[in-house]
Each structure stands twice: as structure tokens, then as C-alpha cells.
Amino acid sequence: MQTRSFRLYFLLSITAMLAFSSCKKDDPIDQGTEPSLIFRFAFDPNQERLDNLGQPSEIGEGNAAQSPSFNSISAHYLELSEDMWTQLGEGELLYEGPQTNAGGADAIDFSESSVVAEGENFLSVPLSNVNNGTYEWLRVSLSYQNFDITYLSDFGQLEGTLAGFIGFNTYIEDFVINEESVDVFENKLQGFWGFETVGLT
């Protein structure tokens, strides 16, 4: 069983979808509760490629890329910001995921993280808990991603699944890549990942 650590850079096409819940009988989100701000993830493989400054970017000559097929994702920090100059932590904090020191240093607690597929509710915040204001930016700090890719090998084109931990530090008891479970029980810094393909992990 092999796992490796490195910084994984790729285009992550995500849209945070906001919706207001209602009290309709056929509404599956929150029946009989107050209006809420609902956050869901949408994975768009056709979204424009951007660089680290948010500007349009092309794939460099001699390089290659692909848009992976996302299975699930998680985040550990969501904040509304009035504008691009709002300092981190000075906006409207909506969510900060559970952390633990079970592995030594403070780390995201993966066992308590909410991991969702596309379109599933990630977070519901009652509007009464959100301060009035005008917010131009949504800051989202992702912590986990699971996606399928294709790759070439001596056996031709194959498919594999990658599970990556991209938070600052994560305490992991165990995690499932596709079908295989990997035991860890320690902290892992940003960039730790596992890969499964054709019976190999």
C-alpha cells in the first residue's frame, strides 16, 4: 500500500451555490425552519482555467492537463468578504470546521469533516445569524477532494481515483479512496494523498 506527500496543483472548478430555503412541504432542505443560506458545490469541467491571481491562463507549451471527474469534496473555512481588500478573518465568518490535537499539533479533524458530492448540502446557515451587509467575495478553504482521472501506462489507458488532503494539516484516522481503506492515525500536512487503480493502492 503506497501513499505519498507532495503539493498538488490543478484547476479546481467549483461554484458555491447559494439558495434560500422555504417552508414548502416538498422542500427537502429545511421543512418548518427559518430561512437559511445553503451552500452546495458544483463541479464544472468547462470552467475557464485561471492562474493563482484569478486571471485567465493557458496551458503552457509542452505541458498537458485534464479535468478530473470529481466524486466528493470538503472545506474547513467559509467567510463572506465585503471586497478584495478585506483581511482574512475580518469578514463574516460562516463556518470553521472541527480541529483536534490528537496527532500533536492542531489539525483538521477528518473524521468530523462534512464530505459531500456535487449538489449535496454542505452548510446551512440561518439568515438570522448572518450580519446585514454587502459581500462581493466568498472565501472557501478546501480541505479534501476525491476525483477520478485517466492515465497512460504500459497496459494502455487506465482509470484511477485520487483522494487528496489539501488543508493546512489534517488528522486522519483512516480514509477510503475508492474501495480500499487506508489506515493513518496521525497528522498529515497539506498535499498528502492516496491513489487507487485496478486493484492497486
Query: Is residue 170 in some structural domain?
Result: no
Query: Is residue 174 in some structural domain?
Result: no
Query: Is residue 158 in some structural domain?
Result: yes
Q: Is the pLDDT of residue 12 over 80?
A: no
Q: Is the pLDDT of residue 8 over 70?
A: no
pLDDT level of residue 113 (50, 70, 90 thresholds): very high
Percent with pLDDT over 70 in the chain: 83
pTM above 0.85, yes or no: no
Query: Is residue 179 in some structural domain?
Result: no
Q: What 3-state DSSP class applies to 111?
A: helix
pLDDT level of residue 50 (50, 70, 90 thresholds): confident
pLDDT level of residue 51 (50, 70, 90 thresholds): confident
Query: Is residue 201 in some structural domain?
Result: no
Helices first, then strands: H and E counts in the chain: 0, 13
Predicted pLDDT at 45 = 83
Q: Is the pLDDT of residue 21 over 50?
A: no
Rounded alpha-carbon distances, angstroms, from residue 114 to 97, 148, 155: 9, 20, 37
197 vs 200: CA distance, rounded Å: 5
149 vs 76: CA distance, rounded Å: 25
Give the domain range for residue 141.
3-59+67-96+114-165+189-196
Query: Is residue 102 in some structural domain?
Result: no
Q: What value does the mean pLDDT of the chain take? A: 84
pLDDT level of residue 84 (50, 70, 90 thresholds): confident
Query: Is residue 180 in some structural domain?
Result: no
Give the residue, 136 or 28, on which the prediction is more confident: 136
Predicted pLDDT at 65 = 86
Q: Is the pLDDT of residue 68 over 50?
A: yes
For range 93-108, the mean pLDDT = 97
Number of structural domains in the chain: 1
Query: Is residue 172 in some structural domain?
Result: no
